[in-house]
Amino acid sequence: MKDIRKSATTICYNRNVTFLVDDTVYAGIIQIIGNYGTTISARNLLNLSKGKKIWINILFQKQKEVKSAEIVWSDESGFGAKFLKY
């Protein structure tokens, strides 16, 4: 996977995550997460175009957080997304 991070990140191994794309829920694994974005490996092959808006359901220490994000890059192994502020 690409590594185009511009800020400090936390590396997460095998942290399950779900994300919503066009009213369909997908499963994946967070590889890297930081204050501004995340890299997720997807369990299914996805064709996510740059700029596509998604919702990511993140579970940290038994608290669920839903983040809106925008796809920055995507390939056969997963994608990178930046978090959006609403």
CATH number, residue 21: 2.40.10.220
Length of the chain: 86
The yes-or-no verdict on residue 5 having pLDDT over 60 is no
Q: How many domains does the chain have?
A: 1
Residue 3, domain member (yes or no): no
Residue 4, domain member (yes or no): no
Sign of dihedral through CA atoms 70, 73, 75, 77?
negative
- Please tell me the pTM assigned to this model: 0.79
Is the pLDDT higher at 13 or at 84? 84
Structure confidence at residue 27 (pLDDT): 92
pLDDT above 90: percentage of residues in the chain: 48
Structure confidence at residue 56 (pLDDT): 94
Residue 1, domain member (yes or no): no
DSSP string across 19-62 = EEETTEEEEEEEEEEESSEEEEEESS---PPTT-EEEEEEEETT
How much is the average pLDDT of 39-59? 88
The yes-or-no verdict on residue 28 having pLDDT over 60 is yes
